[in-house]
Amino acid sequence: MNSSDSSYTRWDFRSTSCRQKPISATPTGTYSSNDQGRVLASDNFVNFGSGLPTWTGGWTNTISYKKLSLLIQFDFKTGGKILSSSALNWLRQGHSKESLVGREGGITAEVYPGIVKSTGLPYSGTPVNPQTFYTDFRSRQIADPFIYDSDFIKLRNITVSYDLTSLVGSKLNFVKGLTLSAACRNVWLIYKDLPNLDPEAFASSGDNRVGYEGTSLPTTRNYSLNLNVRF
Question: Three-state secondary structure along 201-221?
Answer: CCCCCCCCCCCEECCCCCCCC
- pTM for the whole thing? 0.70
Range(s) of the domain holding residue 210:
7-230
User: How many structural domains is the chain composed of?
Assistant: 1
Phi, psi of 165 (to 5 degrees): -60, -40
Q: Is 129 a domain residue?
A: yes
Q: Is 149 a domain residue?
A: yes
- What is the reported pLDDT for 207? 57
Task: For residues 58 and 16, give the distance between their C-alpha atoms in angstroms, rounded to a whole number.
Answer: 38
pLDDT per residue as tens, the chain (231 positions)? 444 555 555 544 443 323 333 333 333 344 444 555 455 555 566 677 888 889 999 999 999 999 999 999 999 999 988 888 888 888 888 888 888 777 766 655 555 555 555 565 565 555 667 777 778 777 767 777 888 999 999 999 999 999 998 887 677 778 888 899 999 999 999 999 998 899 988 755 555 667 888 877 888 999 999 999 888
Q: Is 1 a domain residue?
A: no
Q: Is 201 exposed, middle or buried (0-12, 13-18, 19+ CB in 10 A)?
A: middle
Q: Which of 128, 147, 134 is nearest to 96 (CA)?
A: 134
Q: Is 2 a domain residue?
A: no
Q: Is 87 a domain residue?
A: yes
